[in-house]
Amino acid sequence: MRSFYLKRIVSMLITIILITTLTFTMMHSIPGGPFTRERPVPDEIMRALNAKYNLDDPLPIQYLNYMKGLVTFDLGPSYSKIGTSVNDLIESGFPASAKIGLIASALIVAIGIPLGVISALKQNSPLDYFVMFLATIGITVPSFVIATVIIYIFAGKLGWIPSFGLDGWRSYIGPVIALAGYSLSFVTRLTRSSMLEVLRQDYITTARANGIKEFTVIMKHAVRNALIPVVTYVGPMIAAILTGSFVIEKIFAIPGIGRHFVESVSNRDYTTIMGITVFYAVFYLIMIFIVDVAYAFIDPRIKLKGDK
Amino acid sequence: MSKDKFVFIEQTGEDNEAIRPSLTYWQDAWRRLRKNKLSMMGIVVVILIILFGTIGPNFTDFSYSDQINEYKNLPPTLKLYELDGRYFHVSNDYNVFLVAEDGTLIERLVLDPLKRDMINKVYTYQLGEEDVILDFSYNLLPNKMGYDYDFTLELDGEVSQYPAMTKLNKLFPFGTDSLGRDLLTRVMYGARISLLVAFIATIVNLFIGVVYGSIAGYEGGRVDNIMMRIVDIINSIPLVLYVILLMVWFRGGGLTNIIIALSSVYWVSMARLVRGQMLSLKEQEFVLAARVMGVSKSKIIFRHLIPNAMGPIIVSIAMMIPSAVFTESFLSFIGLGVSAPMASWGTLANNALSGLTTYPYQLFFPALAIAFTMLAFNFIGDGLRDALDPRLRKG
């Protein structure tokens, strides 16, 4: 067991180094530095700026410095927001993103999985058709459209929820629904199809034939196995939702990480782009790792490699 | 025994087993797919959207970049006010248009800057020699003082408060955008760009994924191990992020850049799928037979293995196209899409965002187009999976 974790952690570290190197090379190979403006900046100022941000060092040294900073979780200063570091941006943005993300993820798991199970148990009933209809809409309509429609109808026409910012519980409704919409539909569909497949298996018939209560058959024998593909999807999904809600944050004007990222993309603020990318990637890798560990708990058939 | 003792019964042929023409794998799949109504509907919709995007723009009177300054932000349905037998439409930004009875726009009335009374909210427009007076001061009154209309229109002493009828906009069936461009043409053009990006990206992904996956799967051993580690690493990067990074690196949008960005990452899942297929297929006898006969490696892969793995590959293509449309519109939406005046559905949706509360129809049509495309491809994909998945075969 331990050697499996060790192996996973080592490969995670290698991946992080690779991603960082890749982003670093990409951001530094863009022609024109971060201070290139429409109007040429006087040479002296340019030199001073470059010296201030250590951009006059040779690239390998800059790279080493950046990596050194990374080890101490220092992502460097932001180029376009003078006086703030990328760490500040992440610290200020993460709580808002995480709050919406957590609520959305909780909603997806708490609603999506039961809906999928129920709809599989009542296959081809009106309820099933209704749930699948909603889920299909959720998958086909892009989140930015859902978000704008929510703003238009519930914030604009009806005035039930505020159209921007995050104060009061009402303001969470819009972003959470828009953020959860796609994944909620996906999880519902996934749970349903995987549940249908499990219910066809012989061991379910055996369990029923043994006179086990229907509730126990479903909950203990069917759902547990049906959840395996769902967990595979939910892990990375949570990482993506907690961090990657750029569009939703932009539309609802939420001061989260995603908005900083989109802004840094349009401002060509390379350190911020780099920092947030690395942050995202690490987060994502950790979630995948957790999923792998979760497998062992859900599915006793899976023995992690190296387990004796 | 003589033959006379036997009586031949007439052959009826009833006992013969009905001989059905034997179907190939693809004929069989097609037969199944045809029975799936949703998938057939999906195919029809996709064909319609392709026609809509390719030959559609030839049938509209405007090009996607034509800007008609008189006709900005006009909705697809016009509320007409009748005055003196003529019909007028008042837009949300208080421009008055003369409209024919069937909903064809004739002209925008001239507003003399001197007759623009901003304080009392009364504008006087010129229609030839006559004056059309628009009084929209009602919104200023507290609670509108019980009036249930927003403005009145007056011509020759005749006053109209309520629209006489609502007509479809004949000239611009989908309305116009904030620069006076015909939205119908732009949505058609957007279909062209969105589908072009999706198809090319999918084909490139298909090609890279199939070649990469089949080499890894067929070679096996060390080569497979290294190649799959690389795939694992790419797979553990959030792909949207990587695409955004690439777009930043390219310094902005542009059709080719989007296609390159999309096609450089999404082959990973295809490679995994093909590798899995190869691993099981290469153990089969026909591969052994081919090898014994001295068929070259590449020929075995491309002639024998890949055609046999085509089923799952096609299902995955059908799922790849909508996700490419999705990603492209997402990129365009955060401002990394094709550059103006070109437009994809994502850019159109993004442009509509600023005026959403006043001109919701500008978002409606591109969003509808995206949703329809996604739905159609999803149905086709589901149907293909049912048709090609051998596990679901009966007898």
Query: Tens of pLDDT along A51-65?
Result: 777 677 777 887 888
CB atoms B374 and A140 under 8 Å: yes
Distance, in Å, from the CA atom of B350 to the CA atom of A57, rounded to the nearest integer, reads 40
Mean model confidence pLDDT for chain A: 78
Q: What is the pLDDT of residue A33?
A: 59
Among B232, B239, B248, the residue to mutate for chain A (most A Cβ within 10 A): B248
Q: What is the pLDDT of residue A303?
A: 54
CB atoms B244 and A288 under 8 Å: no
Structure tokens at B73: 């932000």
Single-letter residue type at B27: Q
Q: What residues contact A246, with CB distance under 8 A and at least 6 apart? A: A258, A259, A261, A262, B334
- Our CA-based measurement puts residue B108 at a distance from the nearest CA of chain A, in whole angstroms, of 29
Structure tokens at B68: 């008609």
Q: Does A123 touch chain B (CB under 8 A)?
A: no
Mean pLDDT of B284-294: 86
CB atoms B330 and A247 under 8 Å: yes
Res. A306: pLDDT tops 60: no
Q: What residues contact A156, with CB distance under 8 A and at least 6 apart? A: A163, B356, B357
Residues of chain B above pLDDT 90, percent: 0
pLDDT band at B239 (very low <50, low <70, confident <90, very high): low
Buried b / exposed e along B364-394 (16+ C-beta atoms within 10 A): bbbbebbbbbbbbbbbbbbbbbbbbeeeeee
Q: What is the pLDDT of residue B302?
A: 82
Mean model confidence pLDDT for chain B: 77
Torsion of CA B333, B337, B343, B344, to 10 degrees: -70
CB atoms B233 and A247 under 8 Å: no
CB atoms A142 and B370 under 8 Å: yes
Distance, in Å, from the CA atom of B318 to the CA atom of B28, rounded to the nearest integer, reads 19
Rg (C-alpha) for chain B, rounded Å, is 31
Q: What is the pLDDT of residue B32?
A: 80
Q: Does A281 touch chain B (CB under 8 A)?
A: yes
Q: What is the pLDDT of residue A305?
A: 47
Res. B391: pLDDT tops 60: no
Q: Half-sphere exposure of residue A138, counting CA atoms within 13 Å on the CB side? A: 21
Residue A107 exposed, middle or buried by CB count within 10 Å (0-12, 13-18, 19+): middle
Q: DSSP label at B109?
A: P
Q: Does A139 touch chain B (CB under 8 A)?
A: yes
CB atoms B356 and A152 under 8 Å: yes
Q: Which of A42-51, B222-231, B285-294 has the lowest mean pLDDT?
A: A42-51
Contacts of A141 in chain B (CB under 8 A): 367, 370-371, 374
pLDDT band at A6 (very low <50, low <70, confident <90, very high): confident
pLDDT band at B144 (very low <50, low <70, confident <90, very high): low
Of A140, A244, A285, the CB nearest to B236: A285
Contact between residue A52 and residue A86 where contact means Cβ atoms under 8 Å apart: no
Q: Which of A132-136, B48-52, B245-249 has the lowest mean pLDDT?
A: B245-249
Number of domains in chain A: 1
CB atoms B246 and A26 under 8 Å: yes
Res. B379: pLDDT tops 80: yes
Single-letter residue type at A282: V
Torsion of CA A79, A83, A87, A93, to 10 degrees: -90
Of B246, B249, B357, the CB nearest to A156: B357
Nearest CA in chain A to B335: A266
Q: Does A279 touch chain B (CB under 8 A)?
A: no
User: Which pLDDT tens digit goes with each residue over B4-29?
Assistant: 888 877 766 655 666 677 777 777 77
Distance, in Å, from the CA atom of B145 to the CA atom of A301, rounded to the nearest integer, reads 73
Angle at B175 between CA B170 and CA B181, to 5 degrees: 110
Partner B, chain A 4-23, Cβ-Cβ below 8 Å: 11, 14-15, 18-19, 23
pLDDT band at B130 (very low <50, low <70, confident <90, very high): confident
Residues of chain A above pLDDT 70, percent: 87
Of A152, A246, A281, the CB nearest to B334: A246
Res. A24: pLDDT tops 50: yes
Distance, in Å, from the CA atom of A98 to the CA atom of B14, rounded to the nearest integer, reads 73
Domain that holds residue A132: 1-308
CB atoms B367 and A141 under 8 Å: yes
Contact between residue A218 and residue A117 where contact means Cβ atoms under 8 Å apart: yes
User: Which pLDDT tens digit goes with each residue over A91-103?
Assistant: 888 888 888 888 8
Res. A287: pLDDT tops 70: yes
CATH number at A308 reads 1.10.3720.10
Residues of chain A above pLDDT 90, percent: 0
Q: SS3 letters for chain A? A: CHHHHHHHHHHHHHHHHHHHHHHHHHHHCCCCCCCCCCCCCCHHHHHHHHHHCCCCCCHHHHHHHHHHHHHCCCCCECCCCCCCEHHHHHHHHHHHHHHHHHHHHHHHHHHHHHHHHHHHHCCCCHHHHHHHHHHHHHHHCCHHHHHHHHHHHHHHHCCCCCCCCCCCCHHHHHHHHHHHHHHHHHHHHHHHHHHHHHHCCHHHHHHHHCCCCHHHHHHHHHHHHHHHHHHHHHHHHHHHHHHCCHHHHHHCCCCCHHHHHHHHHHHCCHHHHHHHHHHHHHHHHHHHHHHHHHHHHHCCCCCCCCCC
Mean pLDDT of B40-68: 80
What DSSP string runs through B275-294? HHHHHHHTTSHHHHHHHHTT
Mean pLDDT of A159-163: 72
Contacts of A268 in chain B (CB under 8 A): 248
Of B249, B356, B375, the CB nearest to A30: B249
Q: What is the pLDDT of residue A255?
A: 80
Give the residue with greater pLDDT, B227 vs A50: B227
Q: Are strands B158-160 and B152-155 parallel, antiparallel or unpaired?
A: antiparallel
Q: What is the pLDDT of residue A301?
A: 63
User: Which pLDDT tens digit goes with each residue over A104-134?
Assistant: 888 888 888 888 888 888 877 888 888 888 8
Q: What is the pLDDT of residue B395?
A: 32
**Complex ipTM > 0.95:** no
- Our CA-based measurement puts residue A157 at a distance from the nearest CA of chain B, in whole angstroms, of 9
Nearest CA in chain A to B377: A140
Structure tokens at B250: 């390219």
pLDDT band at B393 (very low <50, low <70, confident <90, very high): very low
Single-letter residue type at A252: F
Instruction: Identify whether A162 is preceded by a cis peptide bond (ω within 30 of 0).
Output: no
Res. B43: pLDDT tops 80: yes
